[in-house]
Structure 1
């Protein structure tokens, strides 16, 4: 099976171009060794922006933050955001 690096060397394009082709679906996903780096940990992935581990970590932190915010804001009240400079 061809890897991303092997394909890059064989066709003479940059790694960025190969990654763009993979993300755009221009290279079929049947080529399981064609990967690009996770945007967080830089581990190899085949689709999306984050690996499974990083997605789980971000979801866990998000849930913790939501729980903390819920405890800080009294029930039945709402806060409104204001935009400065408008």
Structure 2
């Protein structure tokens, strides 16, 4: 269901349906900017440009470029130096919310936690040994 929202770019009120985050006017402006960036990147010498180089050459904002990569409009398979910030460390990634280094660190920490938990459980089990007396014996 649609709802009224203020456009985060121009503050105009628009009917938000979930399809786009900005009003129709800003969507058209954003599409023109995308075309300019895409034309820049299609040139053979610019295909390996970094986000900083694109910002310098085209004047686009980093956040807009990151958003296009996140949504898949600019694909790192075609332009290998593109990405968006990792939610944990801020380094560039091009898939998911975390970069490979943070993902590896979290997996390593999780394995360490699981090993420590297994050790604690084994210790508790060892400490809870129960001895039964046979009272029927004379």
TM-score range, shorter chain: 0.5 to 0.7
Query: How far apart, CA to CA, are the structure 2 residues paired with 1:28 and 1:57?
Result: 26
Q: For residue 14 of structure 1, report the CA deviation from its aligned partner.
A: 1.8
Residue 113 (structure 2) pairs with residue 54 (structure 1): no
Name the TM-score, length of structure 1 as normaliser.
0.64
Name the TM-score, length of structure 2 as normaliser.
0.44
1:33-83: CA deviation from partner (whole Å, max 9, x where unpaired): 1133333333332322222222111101011112222333467xxxxxxxx
Structure with more helix by fraction: 2
Structure with more strand by fraction: 2
Instruction: Decide which structure has the larger Cα Rg and report it.
Output: 2
Q: Which residue of 1 is the match for residue 120 of structure 2?
A: 72
Equivalent residue pairs, number: 75
For structure 1, the residue ranges without an aligned partner over 5 or more in a row are 76-86
Q: CA RMSD in A?
A: 2.3
